[in-house]
Structure 1
Amino acid sequence: MKKINIGNSGLLASEISLGIMRMNALTHEEATVVIRTAVDNGIDYFDHADIYGRGTSEEIFGKAFKELGIARDSVMLQTKCGIVPGVMFDFSKEHIIASVEGSLKRLQTDYVDALLLHRPDTLVEPEEVAEAFDELHKAGKVRHFGVSNQNPMQIELLKKAVTQPLLINQLQLSLTHAPMIDAGFNVNMMNNPSFMHDGSVLEYSRISDMTIQPWSPFQAGNGKKGLFFDHPDYPELNEKINTIAEDKGVSREAIAIAWLLRHPAKMQPIVGSMNPERIAAICKASDVALSRTEWYELYKAAGKMLP
């Protein structure tokens, strides 16, 4: 598994991360196999959130990881906070610190390698976030920080007060849900793809040395349900993916991830599969080299039009 430099910080991690959102559906034994498979295939970065399974995903992972006896410093654990499900978003100092303390307990660890603010809170007070980050960083409970689902101006607002570098922005991105890429192609036009949804977040991330972590990399997106694999609305895309996958001797999932990895922004996709065989197959994306022509063929096969 190739490594990437997270946010140009010197923190080297696997270029594919495993998301633990669905681990609450697994037994202890199944979770152990998933973690072991991920590590054996080169994944050393695990993405959590305090709300996944109402905390049970972190609990199951923490117990299984400890039982496996894997050295804590050989992997990186990331968690997210700021969502009070069905109620509000909360970036208050009190909520951030309480959330981290809960995650540490469930994960059975003394620290997390990264903490992300999960969804923008319009009532955010940057100085309060900064106080929380300073306290957690000084105590050694959080080593690095970032955000999730935030646009450039929201990030700049936080930067007014937060002293630690914001290394990561976790954003939805896939072959079929790529507004940050679409808008970049359609500059100075008036068609639908030209609409800027997120303030040039792709280019901003590259300029700011922030690692984009694409989530839901197989999701159909654009209001469509399910995965784009075998989806009736994407026959051309599936044909192209299958052709390239067969040519390179890997799974179609590996090709979809390789498409993200081919981008020079040096992204770190978050894959959420809890199927050991699929995880192993996805990890082969790290060894797939897509040409520029193949990248564009896949983009266009997803129904995208170049201007």
Structure 2
Amino acid sequence: MEMRPLGRTGISVSLLGLGTVKFGRNAGMKYPRDFDLPDDGAVIALLEEARALGVNLLDTAPAYGVSEQRLGALLPGRREDWVIVSKAGEWFEGGQSRFDFAPDAIEASVHESLRRLRTDYLDAVLLHSDGEDEAGDRFLPAAERLERLKRQGKLRATGFSGKTVAGGLHMLDHTDLLMVSYNPGHRDEAPVIAAAARAGRGVLVKKALASGHAADPAAALAEIAGLPGVSGIVVGTLSRENLRANAAAVMPQGGR
């Protein structure tokens, strides 16, 4: 698996990352089919498969139900073998999302993530946007609190998981990395990826397979892997076969 720098953070991530929302939440999702949460054995087998493929990047969040708790309890290998990216600002409770970007709420969220994941540091924490990105200044106090937590050693990098071009561009100067949506049916945020590359920021891509609706997953992943500035592509799955296929799709042509 190709490893890429996460901007200037000093962190190297696998080009393919594993999204873990399906480890902990199956309500309020946009996937084409319903699914049951996997048992512990299935989670461990998938994580072991990821490790065997060279995947070190794991994406989770407090809004992903019990994903963080399960990773904390079941993650194989050494902590330093993995790059764990979590988020702050969104919680999923009672069937709906709740958002709070007050600095104290962000700090409390980080400490809860550390507890659930059974670790003393997170590799990155991203502000989990509510979509009102154009009013970008409203996120700055939260971003400053994340920066303070980074100085305290609680996290290695700060980030912003946005939903608009304006939001991503606005937060570019206030975080170490951005998470953007990109797939063949949604290329709107390409300018954010390009701007981040020029600024030396890391870029993680979400929605690469359009939440399971991509017509040609391999082609979608190959396209994104070829974009200058992309550090990692986060794709969620519960299937070891799909994980292997996704890993093959991001390999250089000569390695297939």
Task: Bin the TM-score by the shorter chain.
Answer: 0.7 to 0.9
- Please name the residue that 2:78 is paired with: 71
2:213 is the alignment partner of 1:227:
yes
Aligned residue pairs total 235
Q: 1:263 to 1:125 in 2, by over 3 A?
A: closer
Q: How does 1:63-142 map to 2 (within 5 A)?
A: 63-65=73-75, 68=76, 70-85=77-92, 86=96, 88-119=98-129, 122=135, 124=138, 126-127=140-141, 129-130=143-144, 132-142=145-155
Give per-residue Cα distances to partners, 1:102-146, cap 9 Å, x unaligned. 11111111110000001056572624541x224422332111111
Q: Distance in 2 between matches of 1:8 and 1:95?
A: 27
Q: Contact 2:150/2:158 (CA < 8 Å) preserved in 1?
A: no
Identify which of 178, 187, 204 aligns with 2:195.
Answer: 204
- Please name the residue that 1:276 is paired with: 240
Q: Distance in 1 between matches of 2:113 and 2:19?
A: 15
Give per-residue Cα distances to partners, 1:87-116, cap 9 Å, x unaligned. 653221111111111111111111100000
Read off the aligned partner of 2:138 and give its amino acid letter: V
TM-score (norm 1): 0.69
- Please name the residue that 1:175 is paired with: 184
Q: Contact 1:260/1:267 (CA < 8 Å) preserved in 2?
A: no
Q: How does 1:240-251 map to 2 (within 5 A)?
A: none
2:51 is the alignment partner of 1:30:
no
Q: For residue 112 of structure 1, give the secondary structure of its aligned residue in structure 2.
A: coil
Read off the aligned partner of 1:273 and give its amino acid letter: T
Gaps of 5+ in 2: 25-36
What displacement does 1:278 show? 1.1
* Structure (1 or 2) with the larger CA radius of gyration: 1
Identify the range of structure 1 (85-94 vs 266-275) with the bigger mean alpha-carbon deviation. 85-94
Q: Distance in 2 between matches of 1:266 and 1:57?
A: 25
Q: Contact 2:169/2:195 (CA < 8 Å) preserved in 1?
A: no
- Please name the residue that 1:285 is paired with: 249
Gaps of 5+ in 1: 182-199, 221-225, 230-237, 239-252, 291-307
**Relative contact order higher in (CA < 8 Å, ≥ 6 apart):** 2
Q: Distance in 2 between matches of 1:268 and 1:211?
A: 9
What displacement does 1:177 show? 1.7
Identical positions, percent = 23
What displacement does 1:15 show? 1.0
Q: Distance in 1 between matches of 2:140 and 2:172?
A: 8
- Please name the residue that 2:34 is paired with: none
